Each structure stands twice: as C-alpha cells, then as structure tokens.
A and B are shown apart, each in its own frame.
Chain A
Amino acid sequence: MRAQPQPVIPVTVLETKLYVPRPRPGQVSRPRLRERLDRATRATLVLVSAPAGFGKTTLLTEWLAASSADGGRRTAAWLSLDAGDNDPAHFWTYVIAGLRSLVPDMGASALELLQSPQALPVEAVLTTLINDLGTVDGDVVLVLDDYHVIESREVHDAMGFLLDHLPPQLHLVISSRADPPLPLARLRAGGELVEVRAADLRFTAEEAAAYLNDAMGLQLTAPDVAALEGRTEGWIAALQLAALSMQGRADAGDFIAGFAGDDRYVVDYLVEEVVQRQPQPVQDFLLRTSVLTRMSGPLCDAVAGSTGGKAMLQALERGNLFLVPLDDQRRWYRYHHLFADVLQARLMDEHPELLPDLHAAASRWYADNGEPAEAIRHAMAGGDVQQAADLVERTLAAVRRDRQDALLRSWLEALPEDVIRVRPVLCIAAAGSLLSTAEVEGVERRLRDAERWRDLVFDDAGRQGERPPELVVVNEQEFAWLPTWVSIYRAGLALALGDGPATVLHARRALEVLDEDDVVGLGAATALIGLASWGTGDLATTYAAYVSCLTTFERAGHVADVMGIAITVGDLCVAFGRLDEAMGTYESALALAAAQGGPAPRGSADMYVGISGVHFERGDLGAAHAALLRCRELGEHLGLPQNRYRSRVAMARLLEAEGDLDGALELLDEAERLYVGDFSPRVRPVPARKARVWVKQGRLDDVRSWARREGLAPDDELSYLREFEHVTLARALLVEDRLDEAAGLLDRLQEAAQSGGRTGAVIEVLVLRALVAQRQGDPRTALAAVSRALELAEPEGHVQVFVDEGEPMASLLRAAAASGHGPAYLHRLLAGQGATAPSSRRPRSGDPVEPLSERERDVLRLLATDLSGPEIARRLVVSLNTVRTHTKNIYAKLGVNSRRAAVRRAEELDL
C-alpha cells in the first residue's frame, strides 16, 4: 500500500557475507572428499550436512581452491547465510550479489524486480535469474554456507523452484547442520544429489595423525593419536582444540591420558584448557566479545570497554584461537561457532550481569555505524525492548525503502504487545505491514490502537494537543502523520473488504488532515478514492483523483508510482476519447524515467502497450506494432503484473484488425490464462473480446452461449461496468439481423455513455447505430449517426473504429462526403479502408558503433547523471571496479575518452 518515500536504493550489500574463505596454512588435504565434490558438476545439488565443527566450510574452501588451481573453468560464488536471510528479498538479493562477483551483469532484471514497489511472486524473479544463468559460459558454483539458519518456508519453496529449473551451468552447494527441507529423497533417487555427511567428514586415523603431527608438529606416538582420535571420534573441532591445548606443552602424553579418561563434553574440557592458558586480559576479551556474531577492532573496543581491539584480534588469529577472518583486509572476524557457544555459556554462567551492558554497547555501536538491523538484534538480545522499539521507529523509512518487509514484520513480532500498543508509530507500521499481506483481522486490532492515540492527541484538523504520559513517540515525523495514515489504512482495509463508499469516506478524511510534505500519503489517499469511484462508474471523480495523484508523484520523482498510475490515467483518457492526452500521459511518464537515469523502471513496458493502443485508434497499425515490439524488447520483467495479459490483448486487437482472427483468438486465450486481477474494475473482460472475434467469424452459437454465460440481454439495465459487454452484444445482434433490438440497445448505450462523458464509447456506438440503420433501410438515420460520429472523432483523430467496419462503413462514409462532411479527414478514413497502414518508425540505419551491452547501456544512462562512480556502483549493485570496466568499454566503443564526451556521443547516436 505505502509506496517508497524515495527512488529505490538497493539494500547495502555486506561484503563479508560474500567473502570466499581462503584455505588456512596447515590444513589437512582431503583428496577422498574433494573427489566426491568434483562430481558436483554432474549433480543438481551438493549437500554437506553435519553438525558444527565437522570441517564443512574448510572442506569446501579446500575444494574450491584446488579446482581453481587445476586451472578449471569453474568459478564459485559464496554466501555465508545468517538469520536476516530469512527475508526472501534479502536472501535473493545476496544470492544475486554473490553471482555478480563472477558474472557482473547477472540478474539485473531480477534485482530490479526485487526492488520494485509492487511485490511479485518470487518465481518471476527466479525465472529471469535462471534465464540469465542459462547464458553463462562455463560452470558456476554457488555455495550457500550455514543454510540451517534458514527457517522461512518462502525461501525453502523458492529454493525448491530453483532446483527444479536449475540451468546446467549452475551447481548448488549447500552446507548445513541439519538437512534442509528440500526434495532430497527425490534428488537422491534420481542420482542428482551428492552428499557429504558427518561420517565422511570425520578425520580418519591417518588424517588425525597427519593433522596432529605434520600440520601442528606435535610429534605424538601412534597410541596417543589413536587415543585422541577415539576420544574425539574424529570430530575435527575437538581435535583442533586438543592440538591447541598441547602446543608448547612438554607433557602431551599426560594431557592425552587425562583427556581420554574424562567423559566431559570434549569442547568444554578443551576450551577450558585453551582459555585458561591465556593471560587474564585475553580471557576477559574472549568472554566479552563472545556476544558478537562479527567482530572488528572498533566494535570490540566498544563492547569490551578497552582499546587495542584490532591488535587483540590479530594476536588471536596468529595464536590460532578459532578466529575466522571474514575479509582479506583483516577488518572483520568471527569466532568459530562452537568456540563462541562455549565462551557464551561461560559468560552467562560467570557474569550474567554483564550481558545487558555488552549487548547495549554493541547495539549503540551498530546504530552509530549505520547498521540498524544489527543494532536492533543486539538490543533485543540484551532484553532492552524499549531501545529496540526506539530503533525500529527510527528505521522505518529505511526499511520501507529497502523493501525489507519480512524483517520489519519479524521485529514487530518480537516486540512485546504492551511496548507496541503505547507506540502509535509502531501500531500503524504493523497495520500497514499486515495489510500488505491481507491479514485483515490483525489490521483491525492495530488500527484501533492507533485510532485511540489519534483521538487522544489530535483534534479534527489534525493538530496535536497534549500527550498522555504513557504515550511513547520517538519518530516525530511519522507521528505527525498518524491521522492521515490511520485513515489511509482504514480506506485500504475497506477496499480490501469491497466497501467502496467507506473507502472514499476514509480516504477523503486522510486528505483533510494531510501534511503537504507527505507525498506518499497524498498519492495513496487519492489513488484509493480513484479506485473506489471507478468501480461505481464515476469516471470524472476517478480521473480527477488519478491525475492529482499522478502530478503528486511526478513532482516528487517517484517514477515507479508514476508508471502505475499513468496506465489508469491513459485508459481513462481513451474512454473519454482524448487520444492526445493519453499519448502525452504515457510519453511524459517515460520521459520522467529517462530524466532520472538508471535502468528503465518497471512499468515502462506498460507505457508502450498504451502508446500502441493510441496508434491503433488512429489507424496507424505500423506504429502500433512498433510500440508493441518495443514493449517486448523491454521484457516481461519491466511490465507490471497486468501487462502480461494487457500486451497480449493489444496484440490480439492488431491481428484482428489485420484479419488474422485465429491468431487473435489464440492470444486472447493466453491473455485469459495470464489475467491477474487488481483493485481496479474489470471493464473490458477478455471473454467479451473473444466474443467480438467470434462475431466476425460468424460463430454465432459461441457468441450466444457467451451472452448466456455472462447473463447479457438487450433489455438489461445498463451500467458502466458492463458497457463493453453490451456493445459487444449489440454487435452480435447486428450480425444476427435482430436489428430492432440492436437499435434499441444502442440508443440506450449512447445516452448512457454520453451522460458519463465517455466519448470513446459514444463514437463506437454511433458507428454501430449507423450500420444498423443502414441495414434497416433507413439512410437518413444512418447518415445522421455517422455524421455525429465523425464530428466527435475528427478532433482527436479516431480512425480505426470506422476502418474496422469494412465496406458497409466505407459506403456510409462516401455518403457523408457527398453530403459535404469535412473532406480532409474523410479522405484519410477512406484511404485507411483496406489500405496498408503507414509505418511511422523507421529502423535505424546500420549503427555506426559496436552495440553496447544492456549493462553498458545501464552504466551509460547513469553516466549522464551527476552520480559519482561509487554511487553508480551502489545503484547497480556491482563493485566500483565493474563500473570502471564497463565505463572503459563504453569509451572504447564510442571512441571517446571522457564521461562528458561519452554522454554527448550517446546523445548524438540516440543510444
């Protein structure tokens, strides 16, 4: 419901999550497992499933390093998952960002879909991604590490979809502590699954010996090695800890005897050994920083309350203390999970009183350093729900901008009820979040809470009065807009429940109290009024609402919203018979998008379908074709959900006009399958369009059963919503020679359309009325009707509505000409009769330069803006280096050597 306050900026990509871990020195080589992984290229999925500390990540690291050392063409993307990836948009954005580290252009369309304001089925996103992957040369390995953190059904389902449609180039590798809920049994049965499990990963006696004696240089005897291997059961993390405990010890034999004779949890025993040998400051540091999932020097300083965090981390890494680097610059680290768990358990046992302070310090640090999600997580972990709620309030705008709906919902679910209820800003955020998933019941409850606060604080004009002491407001901006948004969501709820009058009532109330800076609120409220009045056939109100909405979003530069609304405004203009205005609406939406730079926004394809429609009405079928071709070139992903059927309907109409009736029907069948409803009324249903084609084919039985099915009869009461169907029925009556019934229906339709200002329909009805009169042998009425139609049609250049009727209409037009009707326009109409349509668009004569790739065009468009290189990189979700490479290629292809020159040259070439 609520659109974004600003143009879309992609979610900030944390590089540490995409870092491909490097093999560490002294790692035991495991050729037997590497060979098994090499089978990945013939399997659909590689699953490395084993508990923590079994060396899953290490094995994958070794395998990837070995296969790239072999000079293999295989390249790998790595994604370290965390709980935040349960948000599907987040998950797929990172998957694509990971793949982009290998193939820079990968998934551009998918990313755009993920960022677009209209939620889209994830299958659509994946389909474009799968298509992109299908064009890649060579193998691509995608490693999803720590998949067990994923609990979201939606992510699992989408992974299942990806597995079902996996292009041969992509090899999925999942490492997890638990088997993921994917169709493993089926894959296993089909031989499409390569598995590496705990039993495979355990160190064998030989591997244990190689590790302890060769890699760690411990010089243990064979019985000692066997004792350690037996005690740890080949569990690698335990063996590593044991080796650490023995380093620099003279009495390794005693240590092993003591260890082997103890049945304490091996990790407890060993971490104790290792930690206790550290100096006190190191022990303190380890305990305090164990609450962190990632560590940098400054963050550790903030949490441990000391300085020298960076040096400490480096020392720990040198001492092999289970520190895993997360980047090549040695800025971010994490502890090995097992080690962190043991440290945390100790901290909770020995110093539970420190926990709130440690989490609070971490929360503050993240908040100050622009990572609100981590800040909120720590605030919640430390039990400071008020701080967490404060942070959520402050982060709302950014969360909406980045479309992290699932993340927002998870925060709101985690916050206690009594905290949310006294915070109207959160009540309203929760209502909006629920409304977007149509959870009507929850919306009602949240809205009632928000309304209670509104009534206590605001007067009828939306002015604030005194606040009750229990009220909590952190985000004053959002609070000031509370009265507006309560009413907007009320209106949205009413619309979802099908209550048009209540929708309008609430939306008008929202407008009364609207703050002039609340652009999105203005847009949402007017759109709701428009939608509700459209359903009742009040087109004038609908139009007024949508145009003011369009202007608002244009002024604010919200291109995506402009596109969505321009479709409706264009449709309404066509209904009013105002073709120039319709064309202008589509064109200025496209111009606005072009002026903003960046890749073409979603909805661009819809504009070309609209443009095609206007050309069609004007009888320029060539231009209508060209516009549809442009729509297809842009691709389905740049169309809004309705465009899939709308574009097919437009094409069907063209084929119908050109006489390919079977082709038209085929497209209409497809359109019917692809139809998706939205809140707007279905004023031109596809079945009626099919009936029109049947009328032309003389399939009158089919037409009759259509009319029966839809419950249509000539003496029906008329309503705007069924106008298109009734005009279709009149066409059928004409062909069936039921002329009196046709005439009666058309006369009534004319009156209704005229009083509703729907000139487009009036013209068509008059044309049909003239044909009926002609058949009735009433040339006077026929001529009067056609003359009136011509008067209405000439100013805006309607042509096709006459041309479509063939010879009977041509003779009427000749009669009109003879009676002195405007010669120039009539000449055009008569020329259009059976003549081939002119083509307004010439193909560009051989491009003088090597064509730019789609990605290069994207970069070029952004070069024309005043965005800096890093800003361009962020916008396209690629690295700065990638942008530089594209820029270099663009310069080379255009034969220029500066940004200014490239932009100028591109303009000259109309690129």
Chain B
Amino acid sequence: MSEMSSGADHGPGRYEIRLTGHLDPRWAGWFDGMAVTNDADGTTVIRGDVVDQSALHGLLHKVRDIGLPLVSVVRLDADQPPPPSPRKARP
C-alpha cells in the first residue's frame, strides 16, 4: 500500500539543494564532493548523490551551519538524467 515500506525512498538518491546567495564552488569538497554551481538568479545549487536519508540530513546540517538561507530541496529522479530545469521554489 505504502511506497515507504519498499525502502526505495530511503536508499540512495540524487538531490539538488538550492540556497540564496553565491557560494564559492570551492565548497564542493566540504559538501562531500557534491557539485556546487552558481545560478544567474543569485542562488547556488548543490547537486549530487547521497547514499541515504541520513546522509541527506547531514548535508542539510552543513547548509544550516554556514547560515545561507535554504530555498528548496528537490529529489531528482535517479533513473533519468537530471531535467534541465528542475522544480524550483522560485524562478
């Protein structure tokens, strides 16, 4: 009945975390090797694979710790290449 019980949502996945402000791409290493890119709208996207939900939350803690406002967290479909413009909270 529930998708939760399959465990698929708890396993590895590809995520995109969007923040307000431009974070230097040199932070990639600090964010466990995720790609850090700056968008023209003044936001930063941290994109990459996480092994499970704990890893994702660990990543969000790191975002919290540097004090940049969070805009969105989006799960990208793991089976397909990331769509060109994934859902954003704000264009």
Q: A residues bordering B, Cβ < 8 Å?
A: 51-54, 148, 177-178, 235, 237, 263-268, 337-338, 341-342, 344-346, 348-350, 352
Contacts and interface: CB of A to CB of B under 8 A. Distances in A.
Query: Nearest 7 pairs between A and B by C-beta?
Result: A348-B29, A349-B26, A345-B30, A51-B67, A345-B27, A265-B23, A268-B24
Interface in B1-51: 21-24, 26-30, 42, 44
Contact of B67 (A235, A344, A350, A352): A235
Contacts of B44: 265
B59 interface: no
B79 interface: no
A52 B42 CA distance: 21
Interface residues on B, range: 10 to 19
Contacts of B28: 349
Contacts of B21: 263-266
B76 interface: no
Contacts of A51: 64-65, 67
Nearest to A337: B65
Contacts of B27: 345, 349
Given A51-B64, A235-B67, A344 B30 contact: yes
Contacts of A235: 67
A267 B21 CA distance: 11
A345 B65 contact: no
A573 to B, nearest CB: 53
B56 interface: no
Interface in B57-77: 64-68
Nearest to B41: A263
29 contacts: A51-B64, A51-B65, A52-B65, A53-B67, A54-B67, A177-B65, A178-B64, A263-B21, A264-B21, A264-B23, A265-B22, A265-B24, A267-B67, A268-B24, A337-B65, A338-B66, A338-B67, A341-B65, A341-B66, A345-B26, A345-B27, A345-B29, A346-B26, A348-B26, A348-B29, A349-B27, A349-B28, A349-B30, A352-B29
Given A265-B68, A267-B66, A341 B42 contact: no
Contacts of A237: 67
B42 A263 contact: yes
A264 B66 CA distance: 13
A153 to B, nearest CB: 14
Given A263-B22, A266-B21, A177 B64 contact: yes
A348 B64 contact: no
Contacts of A337: 65
Nearest to A233: B69
A344 B66 CA distance: 12
A161 B36 CA distance: 42
A348 B30 contact: yes
A371 to B, nearest CB: 24
B76 to A, nearest CB: 24
Contacts of A264: 21-24
A262 B5 CA distance: 47
Nearest to B25: A349
Contacts of A53: 67
Nearest to B68: A265
Given A263-B21, A264-B21, A268-B24, 5 more contacts: A52-B64, A54-B67, A341-B30, A349-B26, A349-B27
A237 B64 CA distance: 15
A271 to B, nearest CB: 10
A263 B65 CA distance: 19
B67 A52 contact: yes
Contacts of B30: 341, 344-345, 348-349
Nearest to A272: B24
A344 B28 CA distance: 11
Nearest to A262: B22
A350 B26 CA distance: 8
Q: Which of B30, B65, B67 has the most CB of A within 10 A?
A: B67
A237 B24 CA distance: 18
Contacts of B29: 345, 348-349, 352
A343 B3 CA distance: 42
A178 B70 CA distance: 13
A24 to B, nearest CB: 21
A150 to B, nearest CB: 12
Contacts of B64: 51-52, 148, 177-178
Contacts of A177: 64-65
A337 B42 CA distance: 25
A263 B21 CA distance: 6
Nearest to A237: B67
A800 to B, nearest CB: 62
A352 B64 CA distance: 23
A264 to B, nearest CB: 5
B7 to A, nearest CB: 18
Q: Which of A54, A235, A345 has the most CB of B within 10 A?
A: A345
A342 B26 CA distance: 10
A178 B61 CA distance: 9
A54 B27 CA distance: 22
Contacts of A265: 21-24, 44, 66, 68
Q: Which of A265, A338, A350 has the most CB of B within 10 A?
A: A265
B1 to A, nearest CB: 27
